[in-house]
Structure formats: C-alpha cells, structure tokens
Amino acid sequence: MRILMITGSKPPDFCGIGDYADMLTRALNAAGAPTELFHTSDWRPRRFPAIARALSASRADLFHIQYPTLGYRRSMVPVLMHLAVLSAPWVVSLQEFSVYRKIRQMALLPFALQDAVVFTNGIERERFKRAAPWMRAPAEVIMIGSNIPVGKTRERDVRVVAYFGQVSPDKNLEDFVVLARQARAADAPFRFRIIGGIPAKFREYAVPFLAAAHDAGIETELDLSPEAVADRLANVGTVYLPFPDGVSIKRSSLMAAMLNGTVVLAPYGVLTDDWLRGFVVETPAPADALAALRRLDGDTAEREAIRARTIEAARELDWGVVAQRHIALYRTLIAQYAERHHRTDNRAERA
C-alpha cells in the first residue's frame, strides 16, 4: 500500500493544515503505511496537466488530498484533480466547509465524487451531506492530531492564563486583552500570557495589538519551537480561546491545550459538538471567563475533574490512533477499487 499525501503547503509554510499533512504523513509511515508527501504551491489552471502527469507517475495505490491549504489559494485544480487521475482511489480531508459562503461551498461539491470524504467533526459532515444529498461515497469523521507534542510538566501554575495560537485579527484576541484588564481592575490573582507566532501578512496588525497587550500586563512568548510551546502549555493552569465562531475540534490550539492537560475556557459556536461540551468551560465573553477563573481558583476538585475529562478526551488525538483510522479506511477503499476494476476487466474479456 503506497499512499500519496497531496498538499499545497508544508512546513515551514505558516499553514496549520500544511503542518497536519506533514505530521499525518510521518504518523502513517511510523504505523507501517508507506506515505509520500506531494507538495507544490503552484495550482494555477495551466498547471493542471503537469500535476496530473506527476500524480499518475507516482504509481500510488491511493491519493489523499488535504484541503484547504494556503498554497491552493482559490484554485479549483485541487477540487477537480480526481476527475483526471483515475489510476487509484481518492480521499479528501475537507477541514473547512461551513466557514465558506454559499458560492464557495458549491464550488467544493465535486469533492463528493471522490471515493471518500474525511471530516474533523460530525457537524461539518452533516452540513456537507445536506449540500450534496446525492453523495454516495463514505463520509468519515477522523479527528486531527495535534501539531504540538506533550510537554514535560514541572510545576503547573494554576493562576497563569494563556492564549496559544497565531496572532492574527481573525482570532478575536482583543477579548484576551479585555479579560486581562478586567482581572487587573478586579485585583484578581491571575497572570496572562500569549504564546504564539505572527504570520508575515499580519505583522502590521500585530504591532499595535502587542503594544495593547503589554499595557494590559500580558506577557508574550513568540515563535517558540513546538517542544517549547508544549512545555509552556504543560505548566499553565488555563487556556482561554475566544474564537469568534466558537471552539471546535478543528482548532489546533485547542488540541495542543488538551494534550497538555490544561483547562480550556472558550465560547461555544455552531461547530462545538457535544464531545467538546463535556470538558471545555463555556465562556461567551471575557466577564464569563473571569467568573470561571475565580470559581475554579476556589474549587480545586472541579478544576481537577475538568482536567481529567480533558486528558481522557485527548486520547482520541493520539497520532497513532489517527494513523490507524486512516489506514483502515485506505485498505477498504483500495480493496473496493481493485474489485471494481477486476469486474470491469472480466466484462472486457468476455466482450
């Protein structure tokens, strides 16, 4: 079984799904499923024939495309490639769908013609199936593993509240600053820290934001290695993730916090499934987050119970588990493809 993992971005590109494609490739190889990463950042329509030839020449037993990535931009080439390369079954991991406007969602419906579509959660799967009710291919839910490893816990400071992730305008990080200011005004015993990185295109946004964070008493640690990030997360008490669309399993920062046993505060949204509601503390606004911090600061038993549920849930994000679930799907699709072509060959011989 030879798998070709297709992506428009890969490390060191600043793309979470590109990171995921690279790490899934490594996990599959470690699990005994030979997998090669196919990467190009040029997906212009005129490149369609050349990419198709390269994929065909790979002699892969299965093609797995990760979508979206920054490298694809808005190209339709990744969406349509499976219609041109028929030498093996196709799987797409569709990690974004609901966030797009209707016209963009319609442009992604050709993915329903692939041999299987993988989603990160059940809500996204149901929304795609409603948009493509004619789809007959399997629609699988396989949670994504974390790009950040498990850190070495030395001594957890339960009064440190962190944000981890990109410093960019689409993360609603202003609420983190508001929380820090509210805590200071209330003389609450918490310290606040931003752990993350700044994509090049958001440097202009980051300068005034980081100045505001500094004025609010927030510490910043930027551009750390994954191992250093893990160590920081393993030693803070709480992570506050004020995403404007609510918390969901597609968020790599959430997964990193889970794996490192931190209590997570976040607003819920339409993509927050019941699985997450079992341990993520709902905090619709900074004032709710401060109230939760105060409550947990005075109730060690509740905090530890939430941590225990978080750690148990994080077992689903182990890369070994993620790899084995993909391998099981691959084997099924490869066997079905071989059977279809065997029947076709038999009919051709009889003709």
Render pLDDT for 11-53 as a digit per residue (tens, 0 to 9): 988 888 999 999 999 999 999 999 999 999 999 999 999 999 9
Residues β-bridged to residue 264: 239
Question: What is the structure's pLDDT at 343?
Answer: 65
pLDDT at 123 over 90: no
Query: What average pLDDT is seen over the chain?
Result: 93
Question: What is the structure's pLDDT at 274?
Answer: 87
* Token pair of 41 as six digits: 């950042």
Give the C-alpha separation, 90 to 81, whole Å.
10
Q: For strand 116-119 and strand 90-94, is the pairing parallel, antiparallel, or unpaired?
A: parallel
pLDDT > 70 fraction of the chain, expressed in percent and rounded: 97
Question: What is the structure's pLDDT at 282?
Answer: 97
Among left, alpha and beta (phi > 0; psi -120 to 50; other), residue 251 is: beta
Render pLDDT for 138-184 as a digit per residue (tens, 0 to 9): 999 998 888 788 888 778 899 999 999 989 998 999 999 999 999 99
Render pLDDT for 250-283 as a digit per residue (tens, 0 to 9): 788 999 999 999 999 999 998 898 889 999 999 9
The amino acid present at 239, given as its one-letter code, is V
Render pLDDT for 178-229 as a digit per residue (tens, 0 to 9): 999 999 999 999 999 999 999 888 999 999 999 999 999 999 999 999 899 9
pLDDT band for position 344 (50/70/90)? low
Q: What is the rounded end-to-end Cα distance, in angstroms, of the chain? A: 31
Question: What is the structure's pLDDT at 87?
Answer: 95
Question: What is the structure's pLDDT at 143?
Answer: 87
Give the C-alpha separation, 107 to 90, whole Å.
18
Q: Would you say how long the chain is, in residues?
A: 351
pLDDT at 351 over 90: no
pLDDT at 78 over 70: yes
Give the C-alpha separation, 43 to 134, whole Å.
28
In contact, 13 and 309? CB cutoff 8 Å: no
Which is it for the CA torsion 272, 74, 91, 11, positive or negative? negative
Question: What is the structure's pLDDT at 348?
Answer: 57
What's the fold here for domain 157-316? Rossmann fold (3.40.50)
Question: What is the structure's pLDDT at 349?
Answer: 58
Rg value, the chain, Cα: 22
Pick the CATH number of 3-145+318-350 from 3.40.630.10, 3.40.50.620, 3.40.50.2300, 3.40.50.2000: 3.40.50.2000
Query: Is the fold of 3-145+318-350 the same as that of 157-316?
Result: yes
Q: What are phi and psi of 330, to 5 degrees?
A: -55, -45
pTM > 0.75: yes or no: yes
Question: What is the structure's pLDDT at 346?
Answer: 63
Give the C-alpha separation, 248 to 273, whole Å.
7
pLDDT at 130 over 60: yes
- Where do the domains of the chain lie? 3-145+318-350, 157-316
